[in-house]
């Protein structure tokens, strides 16, 4: 616990939804919900306008639609979110070498370690300058908490939302925390909160009154003692600079359980390719391939295979994932598939055995052929480009054939899928985004960051002049 409030916690406000509102002028001030759009979709983020209707993160999208039927429901665009996050995190690293990211939109910063703040006044000035710089660079708002510990800095940023700054002066912690809910403290989830509520403890002040011995009796020594210290505002955890990623993975949840074994193999091949794309994008290779299968009854199986050396070869990863799948019983149906790579390294060592298998005739027939790759492009476009795809990714592959095309017969191109919120470009009208699609038509609003709300036009889903596009930057030149 420090004597000066030099630990900063930044939390971007409704990050995913705010990025969507900034990039889509017609949605500014409107209810925006980002997440999976299928029957099994889950809300990732809701704008503050949507939260007024009771919509919140982790809520089933179907429930959100009932609460907020007129909201804009969009797929996540993780490529853009990462780009914006990189800009923000770079600003934090200019303040200090000790930056501890918690997610794309949240991080702790040790201002004292960077020499930019040593007391309350300099810390507040640094926080205000950071908020202004973020607004200028991204057009987005972030909330800043400043305190002498990580726990209190996070509490402060939450209290400052949205778009504010709160500094907790050392010595005022207990007075500030006392009326707050016990759920404010780290480690108090729904189960612990309910257990405490049944004992008549609902606020942090009541935790302190109960005393350490009573809390230890109720919830155990380790948790009880730690919780009592936090209720007193005591937290000695240091800001730890970011660590390298330990794994790279992608997964898809399907609107309807998959039963066809050929389709399942094809989906695993697509996931392997997407995983390798992310692996290479991070500048890594890996030696352990992991397959995740969630079956119809919600039971989840994980299988892994360790190679002789790290690889970023898509053929090697596909082949290993296919071998792992052969050991899994999918008879009752599959609702989720995932492929990951662990044991990351920054170099590759060719796995000659796996490559020789991939070159053999039996391997060539086992990679899914056209079925394994026919829908991959669409899945990458509609399935959240960062790879943490939900049901919308399954939508992108729905047009793929479920088995190989017999020799000599022409293969029909799968119907193009346009997920709500995805970026497009038209030969005549320029950049825009998909508002919705169905019955062979796709509706596009043509606008871009910084423009006035744009016009809406409707096209055939197979219009050759309409193509998927990369996201435009939120601030700067968008004419390209």
Which residues are annotated as catalytic?
A: 106
Indicate the burial class of 207 (C-beta count within 10 angstroms; 0-12, 13-18, 19 or more). buried
Task: Transcribe 183-247 into DSSP letters.
Answer: GGSTT--HHHHHHHHHTT--BHHHHHHH-HHHHHHHH-HHHHHHHHHHHTT---PPP-PPPPP-E
Task: Transcribe 453-464 into DSSP letters.
Answer: P-EEEEEETT-T
Written as six digits, the tokens of 1 are 């616990």
Cα distance between residue 123 and residue 105, in whole Å: 21
359-383: string of b/e by CB count within 10 Å (b at 16+)?
eeeebeebbbbebbebbbebbbbbb
Indicate the burial class of 407 (C-beta count within 10 angstroms; 0-12, 13-18, 19 or more). exposed
Return the number of other C-beta atoms located less than 10 Å from residue 80's C-beta. 22
Q: Can you say whether residue 223 is alpha, beta or left, with left for phi > 0 and alpha for psi between -120 and 50 degrees?
A: alpha
**Do 392 and 75 meet the contact criterion of CB atoms below 8 Å apart?**
yes
**Do 425 and 431 meet the contact criterion of CB atoms below 8 Å apart?**
yes
Written as six digits, the tokens of 120 are 């309350």
* SS3 call for 431: strand
Return the number of other C-beta atoms located less than 10 Å from residue 419's C-beta. 23
In which order are the strands placed within the sheet that holds 430-438?
455-460, 441-446, 430-438, 423-426, 466-468
């Amino acid at each position: 616990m420090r004597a000066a409030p030099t630990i900063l916690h930044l939390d971007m406000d409704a990050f995913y939804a705010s990025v969507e509102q900034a990039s889509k002028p017609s949605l500014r001030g409107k209810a925006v919900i980002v997440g999976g759009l299928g029957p099994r979709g889950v809300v990732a983020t809701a704008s503050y306008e949507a939260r007024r209707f009771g919509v919140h993160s982790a809520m089933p999208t179907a429930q959100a639609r009932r609460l907020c039927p007129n909201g804009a429901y969009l797929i996540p665009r993780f490529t853009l979110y990462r780009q914006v996050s990189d800009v923000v995190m770079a600003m934090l690293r200019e303040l200090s070498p000790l930056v501890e990211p918690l997610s794309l939109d949240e991080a702790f910063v040790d201002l004292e370690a960077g020499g930019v703040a040593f007391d309350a006044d300099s810390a507040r000035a640094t926080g205000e300058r950071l908020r202004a710089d973020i607004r200028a660079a991204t057009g987005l708002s972030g909330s800043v908490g400043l305190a002498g510990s990580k726990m209190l800095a996070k509490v402060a940023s939450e209290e400052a939302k949205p778009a504010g700054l709160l500094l907790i002066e050392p010595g005022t912690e207990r007075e500030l925390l006392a009326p707050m809910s016990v759920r404010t403290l780290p480690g108090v989830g729904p189960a612990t909160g309910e257990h405490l509520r049944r004992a008549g403890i609902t606020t942090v002040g009541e935790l302190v009154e109960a005393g350490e011995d009573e809390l230890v009796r109720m919830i155990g020594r380790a948790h009880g003692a730690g919780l009592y210290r936090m209720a007193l505002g005591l937290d000695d955890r240091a800001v730890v600079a970011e660590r390298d990623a330990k794994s790279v993975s992608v997964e898809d949840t399907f609107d309807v359980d998959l039963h066809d074994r050929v389709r399942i193999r094809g989906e695993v091949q697509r996931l392997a390719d997407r995983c390798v794309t992310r692996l290479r994008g991070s500048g890594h290779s890996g030696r352990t391939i992991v397959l995740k299968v969630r079956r119809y009854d919600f039971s989840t199986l994980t299988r892994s295979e360790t190679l002789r050396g790290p690889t970023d070869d898509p053929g090697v990863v596909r082949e290993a994932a296919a071998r792992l799948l052969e050991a899994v019983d999918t008879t009752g149906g599959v609702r989720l598939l995932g492929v990951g790579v662990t044991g990351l390294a920054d170099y590759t060592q060719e796995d000659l055995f796996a490559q020789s298998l991939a070159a053999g005739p039996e391997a060539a027939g086992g990679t899914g052929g056209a079925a394994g790759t026919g829908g991959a492009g669409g899945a990458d476009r509609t399935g959240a480009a960062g790879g943490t795809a939900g049901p919308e990714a399954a939508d992108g592959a729905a047009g793929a054939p479920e088995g190989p095309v017999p020799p000599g017969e022409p293969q029909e191109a799968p119907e193009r899928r346009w997920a709500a919120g995805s970026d497009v470009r038209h030969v005549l009208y320029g950049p825009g985004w998909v508002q919705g699609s169905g019955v062979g038509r796709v509706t596009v609003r043509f606008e871009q960051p910084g423009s006035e709300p744009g016009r809406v036009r409707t096209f055939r889903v197979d219009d050759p002049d309409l193509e998927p596009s990369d996201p435009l930057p939120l601030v700067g030149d968008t004419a390209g």
